[in-house]
Structure 1
Amino acid sequence: MSNTPAPLYGLLLSGGASQRMRQDKAALAYRGEPQLLRAWRLLEALTERAFVSVRDSQREDALRAGLPQIVDSYDAIGPAAGILSAQDRHPDAAWLVLACDLPLLDHDTLRRLIDARDPLVDATVFASSHDGLPEPLCAIWEPRSHALLRQRYEDGSYCPRKALIQSSIVLLPAPGDALDNVNTPEERQAMQQRLESLA
């Protein structure tokens, strides 16, 4: 068996229904740019290949149509659908999985994750700054994580965080507020004000 780490691909999760936001979170602009495109640039610069994870109904969406896509091949089960679909498509790759709704995420935070990567565990992840648990949507999932994710899917368990808790992982300290996400109009307004104060 080769000691060479699996190639690192990027997966930008954009298939969520954005129900609490009441509009497509990926299209929300911060600092004048849709957050999907900002996250895409970060991901593409740091991985060998990058893809946007989409539901079938999003394939022709103007924001996503011009980017390489992996279409969910699982039912609407949340982020696990995107991760499993990517692993099925490129089973020999490790995946840097990223949510598209992290307006404070930066290059240095992702670089820290990549530099700490251990290809001999299931995943390399940050701890959440809110509860200390593994953060699945800014994480490197190694090929060996697929078996547990798939088994949990077949058992009707779709939470990637709970899969990480059951897995062999490297857990890095929370990277400050870099992984704060935005789920509601009220949170979006607060984030806009925060970014303006940093400008």
Structure 2
Amino acid sequence: MQHLPNLATLILMGGQNKRMNGEHKAFLSLHEKTFLEHIIENLNPYAPTYLSVNTQSLYEHLNYPLIEDKYKDIGPIGGIYTALSSIPEEYVFITACDMPFVNGELITFLYNQLDLDTSCVVMSDKDGRFYPLGGIYHKSMLPLIEAQIAEGNYRLGALLKRTHAKIIPLSQAPFEEKLLWNINTPEEYKSLLQEK
């Protein structure tokens, strides 16, 4: 299939994996493939894929463009900032390496919600909590992100409240919440492996 116009996908891989006891979540195995392989396989038909990393030299064996964080150790906002400032496409679908179920259904649904006034589109759950990862971000957000980093506020929820984010309730989506799950702990990973 053809790539969606003016869209890239970014997989955030720069986390410290503390809650996973230091094991890199991108390389956890599910159905004989790594999380990273699942995500790339699911998203690559829709847009070019970039990997956001803390240290480029650790990931040079992966055959995808690597984007090294300009700001280190400030969480996802640092990877998003660096990607938006360096990727040529106007829009970037941002996901994390611990979200093995993201797929084309999600990316296409969000892409179809974009309009000229939309700087960001993300999902929310039944309690109104945002899913900032598994969302599409536009380059126009760069000044806001830069200002927020300068303030030392690295929370993506705060960023979404500052911008013209389109927040779509999961109840309006044609897919299950599972697409947005992230696997953070050994317990969550064990539970995932025990699923039929």
User: Into which bin does the TM-score normalised by the smaller protein fall?
Assistant: 0.7 to 0.9
State yes or no: 1:192 paired with 2:193. yes
Using the alignment, how far apart are the partners of 2:143 and 2:92 within structure 1?
Answer: 14
C-alpha distance in 1 between matches for 2:36 and 2:82: 19
Find the counterpart in structure 1 of residue 117 from structure 2: 120
- On the 8 A contact 2:85/2:139 being kept in 1, the answer is no
The RMSD of aligned alpha carbons is 2.0
Q: Name the SS of the counterpart of 2:180 in structure 1.
A: coil
Among 152, 168, 183, the alignment partner of 1:172 is 168
CA distance in 1 between counterparts of 2:177 and 2:156 reads 22
Conserved 8 A contact 1:8-1:95: yes
**Structure 2: where are the runs of 5+ without partners?**
171-175
> How does the TM-score come out when normalised to structure 1?
0.86
What TM-score do you get using the length of structure 2 for normalisation? 0.87
Matched, 1:154 2:155: no
> Equivalent of 1:86, from 83, 90, 109?
83
| Unmatched 5+ stretches in structure 1 | 1-5
- DSSP-derived class of the 1:59 partner: helix
Question: How far apart are residue 162 of structure 1 and its match?
Answer: 1.5
Amino acid at match of 2:188: E
Overall identity of the aligned pairs, in %: 27
Q: Which residue is 2:57 aligned to? A: 59
Q: Which residue of 2 aligns with 1:182?
A: 183
1:124 touches 1:170 (CA, 8 Å); kept in 2?
yes
From the superposition, tell whether residues 112 and 92 of structure 1 become closer, same or farther in structure 2 (CA, over 3 Å): closer
| Distance across 2 between alignment mates of 1:36 and 1:18 | 15
In structure 2, what residue type is equivalent to 1:41? E
Aligned pairs, number? 187
| Aligned-residue offset at 1:193 | 1.4
What is the match of residue 66 of structure 2? 69
Partner SS state of residue 19, structure 2: coil
Closer, same or farther in 2 for the Cα pair 1:134/1:75, shift >3 Å? Answer: same
| CA 7–133 in structure 1, closer or farther in 2 if over 3 Å, else same | same
Query: Hey, what's the Cα distance between the residues in 1 that align with 2:87 and 2:107?
Result: 21
* SS at structure 2 position matched to 1:67: coil
Change (3 A) 1:139 1:119: farther
